[in-house]
Structure 1
Amino acid sequence: MAIIKPFKATRPTRDKAAVATSRSYDEYSKKELKAHLRFNPFSFLHIIKPGYDTEPELSGEERFKLVHQTYNQFKTEDIYRKDQKSQYYLHEKSFGGDTFWGIIAAAHVNDYKNNIIKKHEDTLKAREELFGNYLGIAGFNAEPVLLTYPESNYLNRLYRKYSQKRSEYEFMTQNRRLHKLWVIEDDLDIDNIEKEFQKMKAIYIADGHHRTASSSFLANQKKTMNKNHTGEENYNYFMSYLISDANLKISSFNRFVKDLNGLTKEEFLSKLNELYIVENKGEKLYTPSKKHHFTMYLDGEYYSLYLRKTEFPINNALSDLDTHIIYKTILKPILGIEDLKTDPRIKCLPAIYSKKQLKKMVDSKMYKVSFGLFPVSVEQLKAVVNEDLRMPPKSTYIEPKLRSGLTIFEIND
């Protein structure tokens, strides 16, 4: 039984929603960030990067405290207001022919601890503690964790009902993403949504493993400090965006390697041939068409790589993943890549950036060889989780990506 609750969001006033919200901080280049901070006084980035022109070197707790102060200043200036009633928020994002929608709500950390909210990635303790401390001092969470649930007829009907109404927000971003948000304040709808999630035996983390783990870390910390702890305090919850698994879109990460680990081109192709059916496709763009089928770009030409399954048995959910297969058969044994997170010889980039990404990065001489992978399916993701396994790093690039500062969950309320 999943505990998914309404909450009192702090959010931009209707007239400022388009200019106040932002992409995730890490997505901005230094040049973009500087421009937004200089020319948009309403941007949520001012809260995340406070004192950019007066206190640029602030870090750690001092910076976290300034984040908290700037956030309160935005409320004082009526850029952000807090809702007076606990509500759910229905959000829709559309671009390029795709439409995503989901419910913004508060999820309970106990469901994460008890494996009702399931994970497919491991987290780093140091990052959990760092972001947990940040949450505790800043006092709010502004980026929801992306959770996915089994298809629900009731929630589908609810979406259709609200999408016919005038939305509270409707705005287009500079990268041509259309956002809409409806406030679900009807008591009957609120009650039915909560009951619908209570029927669900499991919900899966699609994106935001460290945010979830950090919220759990903070809740444990605050629980030990609160003699009157009940389990219902805001610190026991984290903001989440719940989307049907049928509405989720998963893309792949391409792999780029700087050298052939001392091998000649001929030696490298020979080693590949032991585990793959290798076919030269020439200079014409070529992409993988199904799982266990890879594209490689090397020395000005595309190659098709089909896994010889007799040489690499598929015996569990992890071994069925292309990200695991390419690591175990090529990246580690042939190219000497031990750790995808730390090895400077490899880079992983979302395949959605460019169809010609494999070619461009290698032709630029930055990398010697590149590999294109077929996207992981939702079924594969769930299978890994249900077998209590973990995906390799950079296995999934998941849409939708959400705006920071669209809704804010106050932890210390």
Structure 2
Amino acid sequence: MKLLSPFRGLRPVAGRVADVVAPPYDVVNTAEARELARNKPWSFLHVSKPEIDLPQGTDPYDESVYQRGAENFANMIDEGILIRDDKPCYYIYELTMGEHVQTGIAAAASIEAYDKNIIRKHEFTRPVKEDDRVNQIRALHAQTGPVFLTYRQRDDVDQLVEQKKSEVPVYDLTSDDSVRHRFWVVDDAQQLAQFDEVFSHLNYLYIADGHHRSAAASRVCAMNEYNVAGNRSCKYFLAVLFPDDQVEIIDYNRVIADLNGLSKEEFLSQVGESFDIEKAAAAVKPDSKGLYGMYLDGQWYRLSIHDDLTTSVDSVEKLDVQMLDSNLIAPILNINDPRRDIRIDFVGGIRGLGELEKRVN
């Protein structure tokens, strides 16, 4: 079984990349996407967030949204804004965010390897979001958002990547969020063979982000309408893989809709049974194990879990996220299934702690 394969990517034509580039669909809401795409007819947000082209208030999971996304996608291809490479390629993708630089390889990742847990998962998915990605793939007959994979760093992979990066990039631009993006196409037969060789020594890949996208791709692959002889494309999902020594881990925060019928005082009293609570003058970003920041009613708090609750020999039970679930979110807020409970939402740390204040306020 081949873990990774080159593929014929669909990408912006030369000179149009700045018109197309857009943030991932799941880091902006509909209102933000509508504003970002204003006067930008070729922004990819018209494909990834197509509800922006429908009346305000349209359910983002309505069938009309997927249909509009498919129409917008087809139009970008018909107008020559997106072009498909003539032969299978790997792609080198470098991002520079301030002082941090990370370089990944875009490839088609094996769904068989995903199903066999060779491409390993670390979180559950939310059914409504997984269904959304299934519907999007089926409407577009394409995967438009990559799964973020990581692997244990290897010198031989690094050498090939750096060799390619010594060439002039196909794309080089800085997006509105001040991230510099550079992109190279690996289409030389000898270089492709070299990448295939070093990839054969990767034992496992790990999903850093994109659990819903990979799960959706697996589900689509299993559908009779796609899983037919000769249809190889459905057996892979779009991925970009980064070495573990370049990956920067950022926070992934929880927003809870209510206090489960408790008053603020009752809630804090119950939290105090498992955590030390200290008021903070500014936003709290945890910098050590067992420490949490909480924003409630206009006030930031620093929570430190009691030492006697950190003694489990189970490595999973000792994870900060699991201790939070086991000692606060489940017993106090009565959220026992974060996958399905509509009272909990998740906010990526890239949006900053100010986004949490905004949601709560």
The TM-score, its normalising length taken from structure 1, stands at 0.75
Q: Say if 2:30 and 2:51, in contact at 8 Å, map to a contact too.
A: no
Q: 1:225 Cα shift?
A: 6.0
Listed one character per residue, the Cα deviations across residues 135-180 of structure 1 (whole Å, up to 9, x for unaligned) are 2331111111111111111121122222222110011111111111
Corresponding residue number in structure 2 for 1:199: 201
Q: 1:11 Cα shift?
A: 0.9
Q: Say if 1:2 and 1:201, in contact at 8 Å, map to a contact too.
A: no
Listed one character per residue, the Cα deviations across residues 84-134 of structure 1 (whole Å, up to 9, x for unaligned) are 111111001111221121001111111111111111123355654553343
Q: 1:8 Cα shift?
A: 1.0
How has the CA–CA distance of structure 1 residues 201 and 262 changed in structure 2, closer, same or farther, with 3 Å as cutoff?
same
Q: Secondary structure at the match of 1:250?
A: coil
CA distance in 2, matches of 1:343, 1:65: 28
Corresponding residue number in structure 1 for 2:190: 188
CA distance in 2, matches of 1:193, 1:26: 31
Q: Secondary structure at the match of 2:34?
A: helix
Q: Which is bigger in relative contact order (C-alpha 8 A, separation at least 6)?
A: 1
Q: 1:222 Cα shift?
A: 4.1
Corresponding residue number in structure 2 for 1:103: 105
2:235 matches 1:236: yes
Corresponding residue number in structure 2 for 1:246: 245
How has the CA–CA distance of structure 1 residues 354 and 118 changed in structure 2, closer, same or farther, with 3 Å as cutoff?
closer
Q: Secondary structure at the match of 1:107?
A: strand
User: Residue 94 of structure 1: which of 93, 96, 104 is its match?
Assistant: 96
Identity %: 27
CA distance in 2, matches of 1:65, 1:143: 17
Q: Secondary structure at the match of 1:246?
A: coil
CA distance in 1, matches of 2:236, 2:282: 51
CA distance in 2, matches of 1:269, 1:124: 29
CA distance in 2, matches of 1:223, 1:39: 38
How has the CA–CA distance of structure 1 residues 302 and 274 changed in structure 2, closer, same or farther, with 3 Å as cutoff?
same
CA distance in 1, matches of 2:4, 2:32: 36
How has the CA–CA distance of structure 1 residues 241 and 60 changed in structure 2, closer, same or farther, with 3 Å as cutoff?
same
User: Residue 114 of structure 1: which of 113, 116, 123 is its match?
Assistant: 116
- One-letter amino acid of the counterpart of residue 106, structure 2: I
Q: Which runs of 5+ in 2 are unaligned?
A: none
The 10-residue stretch of structure 1 (92-101 or 132-141) with the greater mean CA deviation from structure 2: 132-141
- One-letter amino acid of the counterpart of residue 320, structure 1: K
- Superposed, 1:127-206 pairs within 5 Å as 127-129=129-131, 131-206=133-208
Q: Which runs of 5+ in 1 are unaligned?
A: 368-413
Corresponding residue number in structure 2 for 1:14: 14
The TM-score, its normalising length taken from structure 2, stands at 0.84
CA distance in 1, matches of 2:201, 2:293: 42
Listed one character per residue, the Cα deviations across residues 290-344 of structure 1 (whole Å, up to 9, x for unaligned) are 1122344567766544333434532223212111101211233234444445656
How has the CA–CA distance of structure 1 residues 78 and 206 changed in structure 2, closer, same or farther, with 3 Å as cutoff?
same
